Structure 1
Amino acid sequence: MEDSKEIKDSKHLISNIQSQYPRLSKGQKLIAQYILKNYDKVAFMTACKLGETVGVSESTVVRFANALGYSGYPKLQSALQELIKNKLTTVQRVDMAHEYSDDSTILNKVLKSDIDNIRGTLEEVDEIAFEEASNKLLNARKIYILGMRSSFVVAQYLGFYLDIILDSVHIIRMDMGDAFEQIVRISEDDVVVAISFPRYSKKSYQVVKYAKEKGAHVISLTDSLFAPVASIADNTLLVKSSMASFVDSLVPAFSVANALVISVGMKEKEDIKQHFDDLEQIWTKYSVYE
């Protein structure tokens, strides 16, 4: 797929610009020089803004992206964002949010960004990987769900609903002892779902690497093929997550987690109906709900 190739190639973007430099036009060389010095800024510039800053036309910017092998400037911009998003500090992210001038603008931009992220996720997620992940969850001896820092809320959501459907679902919690102690009995019959978004937790990668070495099947729910957990996962479900400010959107991650739960649930339809029937009787008996 062209998009996957462009994502992978972004890892070598800087060296690619350097190697292509001698063959670029005069205007394209100006763009290249500016990007090499300011790629963190260019990652959030429109083609028009980059052209104005460098002193070339917008069409020259587009041709520059094409010369590097990208189908358009947005793909080049995405590649630049892939390079920097895990390196930005929270303070730098706050400084990026200069377009959020008032509450109305914030509400509008954030919701539109979430919509775009879900749409992008739908276009990019690997349906075969999703199907395999669903089947692996269904047949696992035990499921371990890992998400650290802000990713923990997605892990908790996924674990809560999978636990209703399946037996032996364990959410790895940082307040329940060391993470390694919680997965020490993991085996090749087990599955780990690793949820990881920038800034990527080093501990998450270490725990997943240990699980992989023990033979467990690893499903990663993350935003990039460059994410550390993706490099060792058996199935990677890519979730679009553009950087709007100091808070990363987890909305698409919840959507994919929701889809996984429903996919597994539909394969266990009859068992679920009985389980919910039992739960309804308990809820009624103990007045759980109004």
Structure 2
Amino acid sequence: MPKDILSHIQSGMSGFSKGQKLIARYILDSYDKAAFMTASRLGKTVHVSESTVVRFASELGYDGYPAMQKALQEMIRSKLTSIQRIKVTNDRIGDHDILSTVMQADMEKIRLTLEEADREKFAQAVDAIVNARRIYILGVRSASALANFLGFYFNLIFENVLLIQAASASEVFEQLLRVGPEDVIIGISFPRYSKRTVKAMEFARDRGAHVVAITDGETSPLAPIATCTLTAKSDMASFVDSLVAPLSLVNALIVAIGRRMNNDLSDTFRALEQIWDEYDVYEKAEE
């Protein structure tokens, strides 16, 4: 199946039935909306039956409508502007309760992430991190929250963690200057992807470092660079990035490594508790 689904639809237009042409034209004109419609809703929008929409997906060579929808979503993953995201989000929520809609969507992303998780790659990432000489962590824009979360806990577990500050491209490479074959870089990026993160990961890979990508799928520009890719579902449609599933994946990574480093982690917290007690770090509750 060609990666460019729009070109595939355009080239097959002459062979489509009347109903299929209606679907095709709508997708070509409004692919940013069609990518997030159910088969039923797409059919109602163009005034054809749901079964016609399903047959259209099969006509294109997809194994059902969800496969065609996924191809559309992957194609536009990094192309939607902020304005388009707002419009798509408004169309998807409509008159529904916002709190329920957003939380249920996040629950679905966690479910899909769990179903598609590659346990072997997850174990490979844990092994590489545990055995690394130095651990570099990079995430910019909204992904910086995940990078900071990961960096906070890794600094409790390891002595060799560098959370890369990505204020500028030059600063990123300055901090990666000594990266080498015994090191690991963990790059975190979701649509719209960060070129700065991609370039930094390429730099580390070219110098022999083990590259772990935390991203949304094999179509991500981070995936071809990484020696190990951990995927989590995100919501590229909303102007606010949904990082619930990625955060859950990061949390699982921290727990898995914490279990591997159990003795060292226990010693760390024992030392911290002694410091907290000695210096009276926590204020006592007012009487």
Which residue identity is paired with 2:189?
A: S
Instruction: Identify the range of structure 1 (275-284 vs 145-154) with the bigger mean alpha-carbon deviation.
Output: 275-284
CA distance in 2, matches of 1:161, 1:10: 42
Query: Within the alignment, does 1:283 sit opposite 2:276 as a pair?
Result: yes
Q: Cα offset for 1:98?
A: 1.9
CA gap of 1:69–1:289, structure 2 versus 1, over 3 A, is: farther
Contact 1:10 1:79 (8 Å CA) reproduced: no
Counterpart in 2 of 1:157? Answer: 149
Instruction: Identify the range of structure 1 (144-153 vs 105-114) with the bigger mean alpha-carbon deviation.
Output: 105-114
CA distance in 1, matches of 2:273, 2:171: 36
Counterpart in 2 of 1:239? Answer: 232
Q: Cα offset for 1:289?
A: 2.8
Counterpart in 1 of 2:180? Answer: 187
Instruction: Identify the range of structure 1 (225-234 vs 27-36) with the bigger mean alpha-carbon deviation.
Output: 27-36
Contact 1:155 1:195 (8 Å CA) reproduced: yes
CA distance in 2, matches of 1:109, 1:31: 27
> 1:223-275, CA deviations, whole angstroms, 9 ceiling, x for partnerless residues?
12222111211111111113352101111111111111111111111121112
TM-score, L = length of structure 1: 0.90
Query: Within the alignment, does 1:126 sit opposite 2:118 as a pair?
Result: yes
- 1:231 match: secondary structure: coil
Which residue identity is paired with 1:267?
A: R
Query: Within the alignment, does 1:211 sit opposite 2:204 as a pair?
Result: yes
Query: Within the alignment, does 1:41 sit opposite 2:30 as a pair?
Result: no
- 1:228 match: secondary structure: coil
Counterpart in 1 of 2:84? Answer: 92
Which residue identity is paired with 1:255?
A: S
Q: Cα offset for 1:209?
A: 0.8
CA distance in 2, matches of 1:152, 1:257: 13
> 1:113-138, CA deviations, whole angstroms, 9 ceiling, x for partnerless residues?
11111111001121111000000000
Counterpart in 1 of 2:21? Answer: 29
Which structure 1 segments of 5+ residues have no match?
A: 1-8
1:4-19 to structure 2, matched below 5 A, reads: 11-18=3-10
CA distance in 2, matches of 1:161, 1:119: 25
Contact 1:186 1:216 (8 Å CA) reproduced: yes
- 2:142 match: secondary structure: helix
Contact 1:137 1:143 (8 Å CA) reproduced: yes
Counterpart in 2 of 1:54? Answer: 46
Counterpart in 2 of 1:198? Answer: 191
Pick the aligned partner of 1:260 from 242, 253, 263: 253
CA gap of 1:285–1:11, structure 2 versus 1, over 3 A, is: farther
- 1:220 match: secondary structure: strand
CA distance in 1, matches of 2:251, 2:118: 16
TM-score, L = length of structure 2: 0.90
CA distance in 1, matches of 2:89, 2:83: 10
- 1:232 match: secondary structure: coil
Query: Within the alignment, does 1:117 sit opposite 2:78 as a pair?
Result: no
> 1:195-227, CA deviations, whole angstroms, 9 ceiling, x for partnerless residues?
001111111111111111111111100012222
CA distance in 2, matches of 1:114, 1:46: 18
Q: Cα offset for 1:79?
A: 1.7
Cα-Cα RMSD: 2.1
CA gap of 1:107–1:244, structure 2 versus 1, over 3 A, is: farther
- 1:279 match: secondary structure: helix
CA distance in 1, matches of 2:94, 2:4: 35
Contact 2:213 2:223 (8 Å CA) reproduced: yes
Instruction: Identify the range of structure 1 (77-86 vs 134-143) with the bigger mean alpha-carbon deviation.
Output: 77-86
Counterpart in 2 of 1:4? Answer: none
Q: Cα offset for 1:75?
A: 2.5
Q: Cα offset for 1:24?
A: 4.2
Among all aligned residue pairs of Structure 1 and Structure 2, give the percentage whose two residues are the same amino acid: 50
Which residue identity is paired with 1:116?
A: E
